[in-house]
């Protein structure tokens, strides 16, 4: 489920919320904060602060109070200059929001619903999420409709009454939604702290789930696949819990434990991390193969990105006795690309070098600018790569005969797709010393290069 697409925001170096999509800005104000102003959501503020201080991208499932309603979402935060950027997905009411335990009927209704809207006690819109492709117009209206009565955005059949109406008079009402040809019904479910959850349930199914429905005068809301929009957010939380609980057992934080069970707990944690990695890879695969996918170009420094990626992987490299040599602190390599996606590519490249190169060796990361192209090379001291493998290694699910190492065979395929989507490329060759050399190229930030040389 998506809140009509991811919610984006930016904080400055003092963790002040300076940019935000409407849904997060409205939540900030309802939480008693100002906009722009200091972040008023404590769990999100803590995550923002940790990401800024660590210089690493962090992601967690968070729960905050929204007009006394508990709301859960997945927040990803990554450094951006002196501040941070935020992306929120999977926005939904937390499990404890409802007035009573879910019965089978209500649980089924939530599964069938293709739009979920949170209302206040007066039935005004607080937030909303949309799943159906033919509700693109409705999703666009929700983004602009916070504070309005929900009935202003639909047409109730057989009724000309306007709000306020008692919610029981509206529950199970038939209605039409602009932009959709399907008939709909509405269910209103009271919430624990007051207000309601509104569910839109279609009386028919779409004949073609992959079809998209443009909204006249608004954005096109393409239907996203099952994994990225629904399964991935649902899987991350239980898998993270499995890993966290297994690590608690493995490290004996919960009490004394026989050595053999410590080993079992370590295996469980490792398997959980493998499944998490697979979920993330498959979700990213869905994203990069979407015809509407477009990274957000920004002014970045490839040398700085390399230092950050190596820092994130420092413990893994230390465990294998591998030295990761990165560009000097005073070296800058200006480029144009999306910071988060570039960091994702570099973590994959350096992580692969650490995983597959012999222990007690060196992984070298170099950067430079050639004309209008900025480049970054990751060079290992392994066996190198043959010409036949050079293109094959970028194919989907290609493992080059490896097995049992926890990889999915998707990392390099996704990384090349990301690089090309940002106007660059990703290639591989053999280094003069015999190891493999992966080279990421991106458009150079020529204006920044001129300023640096002046």
- Asked whether residue 208 is assigned to any structural domain, the reply reads no
Instruction: Assess whether 305 and 431 both reside in one domain.
Output: yes
Instruction: Assess whether 303 and 396 both reside in one domain.
Output: yes
Asked if residue 447 lies in contact with residue 369, where contact means CB atoms within 8 angstroms, the answer is no
Asked if the peptide bond before residue 26 counts as cis, ω within 30 degrees of 0, the response is no
Instruction: Assess whether 370 and 327 both reside in one domain.
Output: yes
- Asked whether residue 78 is assigned to any structural domain, the reply reads yes
CA distance 435 to 432: 8
Q: What is the pLDDT along the chain (454 residues), one digit of tens a residue?
A: 334 468 889 999 999 999 988 778 888 888 888 888 899 898 899 899 988 888 888 888 888 877 656 788 889 999 988 899 999 987 776 655 454 444 445 665 666 788 888 887 788 887 777 777 788 788 777 766 667 788 888 888 876 666 667 777 788 888 888 888 888 988 888 876 567 888 888 877 665 444 445 555 444 444 345 555 556 666 766 777 787 777 778 777 667 888 888 888 887 877 777 777 777 777 778 888 887 888 888 899 999 999 988 887 887 888 899 999 999 999 999 999 998 889 889 989 999 999 888 999 999 999 999 999 999 999 999 888 888 888 789 998 776 655 555 566 788 999 999 999 999 999 999 887 889 999 999 999 987 765 655 5
Instruction: Assess whether 331 and 441 both reside in one domain.
Output: yes
- Asked whether residue 293 is assigned to any structural domain, the reply reads no
Instruction: Assess whether 244 and 278 both reside in one domain.
Output: yes
Domain boundary residue, one of 74, 96, 118: 96
- Asked whether residue 210 is assigned to any structural domain, the reply reads no
- CATH number, domain of 163, equals 3.30.450.20
Instruction: Assess whether 59 and 196 both reside in one domain.
Output: no
CA distance 445 to 305: 15
Q: What is the dihedral of CA 196, 3, 65, 46, to 10 degrees?
A: 170
pTM to 2 decimal places: 0.50
The torsion angles phi and psi of 298, rounded to 5 degrees, stand at -150, 165
Instruction: Assess whether 281 and 315 both reside in one domain.
Output: no
Total domains in the fold of the chain: 4
- CATH number, domain of 446, equals 3.30.565.10
Instruction: Assess whether 368 and 241 both reside in one domain.
Output: no
Instruction: Assess whether 428 and 302 both reside in one domain.
Output: yes
Count of H-run helices and E-run strands, the chain: 14, 19
Instruction: Assess whether 230 and 320 both reside in one domain.
Output: no
CA distance 308 to 81: 12
Range of the domain at 230: 226-288
Instruction: Assess whether 85 and 120 both reside in one domain.
Output: no
Instruction: Assess whether 33 and 157 both reside in one domain.
Output: no
219, two tokens? 């954005």
Residues 6+ apart with CB under 8 A from 86: 7, 8, 9, 10, 11, 20, 24, 44, 48, 75, 76, 77
């Amino acid at each position: 489920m998506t809140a009509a697409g991811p919610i984006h925001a930016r904080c400055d170096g003092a963790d002040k919320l300076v940019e935000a999509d409407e849904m997060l800005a409205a939540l900030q104000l309802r939480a008693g904060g100002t906009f722009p102003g200091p972040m008023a959501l404590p769990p999100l503020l803590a995550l923002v602060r940790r990401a800024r201080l660590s210089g690493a991208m962090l992601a967690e499932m968070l729960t905050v109070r929204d007009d006394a309603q508990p709301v859960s979402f997945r927040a990803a935060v990554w450094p951006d200059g002196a501040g941070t950027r935020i992306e929120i997905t999977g926005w939904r009411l937390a499990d404890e929001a409802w007035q009573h335990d879910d019965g089978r009927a209500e649980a089924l209704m939530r599964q069938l619903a293709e739009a979920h809207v949170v209302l206040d006690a007066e039935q005004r819109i607080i937030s909303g999420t949309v799943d159906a492709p033919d509700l693109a117009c409705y999703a666009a209206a929700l983004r602009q409709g916070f504070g309005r009565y929900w009935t202003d955005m639909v047409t109730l059949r057989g009724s000309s009454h306007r709000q306020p109406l008692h919610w029981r008079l509206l529950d199970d009402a038939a209605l039409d939604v602009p932009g959709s040809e399907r008939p709909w019904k509405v269910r209103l479910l009271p919430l624990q702290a007051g207000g309601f959850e509104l569910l839109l349930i279609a009386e028919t199914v779409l004949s073609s789930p992959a079809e998209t429905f443009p909204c006249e005068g608004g954005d096109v809301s393409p239907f996203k696949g099952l994994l990225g929009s629904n399964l991935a957010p649902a899987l991350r939380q239980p898998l993270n819990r499995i890993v966290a609980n297994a690590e608690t057992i493995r490290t004996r934080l919960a009490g004394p434990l026989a050595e053999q069970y410590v080993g079992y707990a370590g295996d469980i944690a490792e398997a959980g991390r493998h499944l998490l990695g697979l979920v993330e890879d498959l979700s990213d695969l869905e994203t990069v193969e979407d015809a509407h996918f477009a990274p957000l170009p920004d002014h970045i420094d490839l040398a700085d990105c390399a230092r950050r990626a190596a820092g994130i992987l420092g413990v893994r490299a230390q465990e294998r006795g591998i030295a990761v040599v990165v560009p000097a602190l005073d070296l800058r390599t200006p480029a144009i690309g999306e910071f988060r996606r570039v960091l994702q590519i570099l973590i994959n490249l350096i992580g692969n070098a650490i995983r597959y190169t012999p222990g007690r060796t060196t992984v070298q990361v170099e950067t430079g600018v050639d004309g209008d192209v900025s480049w970054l090379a990751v060079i290992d001291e392994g066996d190198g790569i043959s010409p036949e493998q050079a293109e094959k290694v970028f194919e989907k699910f290609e493992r080059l005969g490896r097995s049992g190492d926890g990889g999915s065979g998707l990392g390099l395929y996704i990384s090349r797709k990301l690089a090309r989507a940002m106007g660059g490329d990703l290639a591989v060759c053999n280094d003069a010393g015999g190891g493999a050399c992966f080279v990421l190229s991106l458009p150079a930030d020529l204006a920044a290069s001129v300023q640096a040389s002046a």
